[in-house]
């Protein structure tokens, strides 16, 4: 009995000397810290992208305005060939010397997809890069693309089809009432002002004077003047 008791006490003493299991400290890769780091990284990237977008905002705005021109259903994200040609004309990308209408059409067909009829903004910039080499031959590639951007930035479609007054000898002769003859002459007074109904219809003269008499109403004046 005594031997067993001593052995048991020795075992309990040995067990008590073992180091206790302690929870290890959190590693530097704390999930909370990781999330914060990711958020800061995203914010940084967004700020960088926003800065880049600000540099080309005028170009994008011009692209959008021309992309929706004449099409109420357009979103401004894609541009048809017709509006692409108008942009190049209105913004003087086409100068008739280095860049022609044919050049613009060829570049559009080259850049767009085979089955697509439109180009995106990124493809739009590719097309401008192609044309810049022809439009500004004397400049470097980087300078040429910046110059062609300047032609487009902040621009909007030019509205055409407004009727303008035509000035020509023929039109002036046709609108000169002093040269009218016949019944047309009777419709205007000497100053060219229309007489209205009196110039279109034979109104009954109830004054008592003979038609065409030019001294109507002068009798009293003459009688009073002779007294």
* Per-residue pLDDT tens over the stretch 154-203: 999 998 765 555 566 666 666 666 666 766 666 777 766 766 666 666 66
How high is the pLDDT of residue 208? 65
Mean predicted lDDT score pLDDT of the chain: 75
Instruction: Judge whether residue 210 has pLDDT over 60.
Output: yes
42 to 68, 175, 182: CA distances (angstroms)? 33, 72, 86
Predicted confidence band at 224 (pLDDT cuts at 50, 70, 90)?
low
Residues 44, 51: contact at Cβ < 8 Å? no
Q: Which pTM value belongs to this model? A: 0.49
For the beta carbon of residue 61, count every other beta carbon within 10 angstroms: 16
Closest CA to 132 of 118, 122, 120, 143: 143
How high is the pLDDT of residue 159? 87
Q: Which residues contact 179 (CB under 8 A, 6 or more apart)?
A: 173
- Give CA–CA dist 51/120, Å, rounded: 21
Predicted confidence band at 46 (pLDDT cuts at 50, 70, 90)?
very low
Instruction: Judge whether residue 58 has pLDDT over 90.
Output: yes
- Give CA–CA dist 209/218, Å, rounded: 12
How high is the pLDDT of residue 216? 72
For the beta carbon of residue 94, count every other beta carbon within 10 angstroms: 20
Instruction: Judge whether residue 119 has pLDDT over 90.
Output: yes
In the chain, the percentage of residues whose pLDDT exceeds 70 is 48
């Amino acid at each position: 009995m005594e031997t067993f008791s001593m052995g048991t006490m020795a075992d309990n003493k040995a067990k008590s000397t073992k180091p206790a299991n302690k929870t290890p400290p959190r590693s530097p890769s704390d999930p909370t810290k990781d999330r914060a780091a990711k958020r800061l990284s995203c914010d940084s990237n967004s700020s960088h992208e926003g800065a880049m977008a600000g540099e080309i905002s005028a170009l994008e705005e011009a692209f959008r305005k021309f992309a929706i021109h004449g099409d109420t259903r357009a979103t401004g994200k894609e541009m048809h060939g017709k509006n692409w040609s108008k942009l190049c004309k209105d913004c003087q990308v086409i100068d008739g010397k280095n860049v022609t209408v044919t050049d613009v059409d060829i570049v559009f067909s080259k850049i767009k997809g085979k089955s697509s009829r439109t180009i995106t903004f990124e493809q739009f910039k590719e097309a401008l890069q192609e044309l810049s080499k022809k439009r500004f031959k004397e400049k470097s590639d980087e300078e040429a693309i910046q110059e062609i951007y300047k032609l487009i930035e902040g621009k909007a479609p030019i509205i055409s089809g407004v009727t303008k007054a035509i000035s020509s000898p023929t039109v002036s002769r046709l609108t000169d009432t002093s040269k009218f003859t016949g019944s047309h002459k009777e419709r205007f007074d000497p100053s060219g002002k229309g007489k209205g109904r009196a110039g279109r219809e034979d109104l009954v003269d109830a004054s008592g004077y003979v038609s065409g008499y030019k001294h109507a109403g002068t009798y009293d004046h003459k009688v009073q003047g002779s007294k």
